[in-house]
Amino acid sequence: MKGLVLRAPEKIEIGDVGCPQAGAGEVLVKVEACGICGSDIPRAYRDGAHNMPLIIGHEFAGEVDSCGEGVDKDWQGKHVGVFPLIPCMKCDCCKIRKYEMCSNYSYLGSRRDGGFAEYVSVPEWNLIELPDCVGFDSAAMMEPMAVAVHAIRQAFRTKGYDIEDVTELIDKKVVVVGLGTIGLLVVMFLKDLGFKNVYTIGNKELQKKMVADLGVDEEDFCDINVWDEIDWIRGNTNAKGADYLFECVGNSRSLDACIYGAAPEAVICTVGNPGGDMDLHRHAYWQILRNQLTLVGTWNSSFTHEDSDDWHYVLERVQQGNIHPEKLITHIFPLEDIVEGFEIMRDKKEAYVKVMAEMMKM
Average pLDDT, the chain: 95
Q: pTM here?
A: 0.96
Count of all residues that appear for the chain in the document: 362
pLDDT for res 208: 95
Residue 126's pLDDT band (cuts 50, 70, 90): very high
- Strand ranges across the sheet with 54-55: 11-16, 2-8, 54-55
pLDDT for res 360: 60
pLDDT for res 310: 98
pLDDT for res 43: 96
Residue 337's pLDDT band (cuts 50, 70, 90): very high
Percent of the chain whose pLDDT exceeds 70: 99
At 161 the three-state DSSP class reads coil
Q: What average pLDDT does this structure show over 279-293?
A: 96
Is the predicted pLDDT of residue 12 greater than 80, yes or no?
A: yes
pLDDT for res 362: 39
**CB of 53 closer than 8 Å to CB of 6:** yes
Give, as one character, the DSSP assignment of residue 45. I
pLDDT for res 361: 44
Instruction: Name the residue ranges covered by the structural domains of the chain.
Output: 2-140+324-361, 148-297
Q: Which helix (H) or strand (E) holds 12?
A: strand 11-16
**CB of 174 closer than 8 Å to CB of 243:** yes
Rounded CA-CA distance 65/75 in Å is 9
Question: Under the phi-then-psi rule, with left for phi > 0, alpha for psi from -120 to 50, and beta for the rest, what region is 213?
Answer: alpha
Architecture category of domain 148-297 in CATH: 3-Layer(aba) Sandwich (3.40)
Residue 41's pLDDT band (cuts 50, 70, 90): very high
Q: What average pLDDT does this structure show over 145-173?
A: 95
Q: What average pLDDT does this structure show over 161-170?
A: 92
pLDDT for res 244: 98
Does the domain at 2-140+324-361 match CATH 3.90.180.10? Answer given as yes
Q: What average pLDDT does this structure show over 247-256?
A: 95
Q: Show Cβ contacts of residue 183 under 8 Å, excluding neighbours closer than 6 positions.
A: 176, 177, 200, 202, 246, 248, 249, 271
Q: Show Cβ contacts of residue 240 under 8 Å, excluding neighbours closer than 6 positions.
A: 233, 234, 261
Q: What average pLDDT does this structure show over 143-163?
A: 97
Query: Can you say how many angstroms the Cα of residue 112 is from the centroid of all Cα atoms in its chain?
Result: 19
Same fold, 2-140+324-361 and 148-297: no
Rounded CA-CA distance 124/115 in Å is 15
Q: What average pLDDT does this structure show over 70-97?
A: 97
Q: What average pLDDT does this structure show over 29-33?
A: 98
- Report CA dihedral (206, 178, 299, 25) to the nearest 10 degrees: 10
Q: Which helix (H) or strand (E) holds 126?
A: none
Q: What average pLDDT does this structure show over 289-318?
A: 97
